Amino acid sequence: MKSFIKISLLFFLITSTLFATVYLGLGFLVSLHSTKPEKADVIVVLGGDNGLRVEKGTELYKAGYAKNIVLTGIDSRYYSPSRPNWRERRMLEAGVPKKAITVDIWSETTWEEAENTSDLMDKKGWNSALVVSDPPHMLRLHKTWTQAFAGSSKQFILVTTEPEWWHPLFWWRDPFSKQFVINEIKKNIYYLLAYY
């Protein structure tokens, strides 16, 4: 009986430790593929943000990392070149020239953003891109953009925003961060089944 209790307790401790390690490690897993920016042909600012991605893209442009910007995730139903979307307006107000900004109004998903940007890069003769998004988005971006660029000479570098709510170890403490990570785990599983 005592040996059964010891084995059960040991099993519980090992299982709990393993679960805690995996759970806490999810923040590192989803944000793993971000790197430092390098000079590129275009900065791709992905949609779905509240302004941090636009700020990072503007910062990279002003620092001279690229001469072109692509803004994705802007709804075609509400876009007109004569009435720029708030994201484009924010860049223009920060001093980015209108001629440097290309607006992608057709992409609705991360997969479409990658494929449509790849096609645009072919048309424009661009070979390298800095892709800007939030830290928990990096794992899915890495897989998606790798797939979209497969068989070509195009390259991409993932660059993250620096949100106050993000910490890769304590991601579960902030409600927004926690929801983002859990959604990304679900989306990674879906993308694995649907696209890869």
- Structural domain contains residue 2: no
Q: What is the pLDDT of residue 104?
A: 95
Structure tokens at 70: 């692509």
Residue 12 has pLDDT above 80, yes or no: no
- Where residue 9 falls among pLDDT bands split at 50, 70, 90? low
pLDDT given at position 17 = 60
Q: Say if 23 falls within a structural domain.
A: no
The yes-or-no verdict on residue 52 having pLDDT over 80 is yes
- What is the 3 state secondary structure string of 82-114? CECCHHHHHHHHCCCCHHHEEECCCCCCHHHHH
Domains in the chain, number: 1
Inter-CA distances, 145 with 7, 12, 113, 188, Å: 46, 40, 9, 13
Supply the CATH number for residue 95's domain: 3.40.50.620
Give a yes or no: residue 64 inside a domain.
yes
Percent of the chain surpassing pLDDT 70: 88
Strands (E), 152-192: 155-160
Lowest-pLDDT choice from 15-29, 89-103, 138-152: 15-29
Of the ranges 5-9, 49-53, 147-151, 185-189, which one carries the lowest mean pLDDT score? 5-9
Residue 45 domain-assigned (yes or no) = yes
156 in a domain, yes or no? Answer: yes
Measured distance CA(74)–CA(52) in Å, rounded: 16
Q: Are 73 and 110 in contact (CB under 8 A)?
A: no
In a domain, 12, yes or no: no
Domain range for 177: 29-194
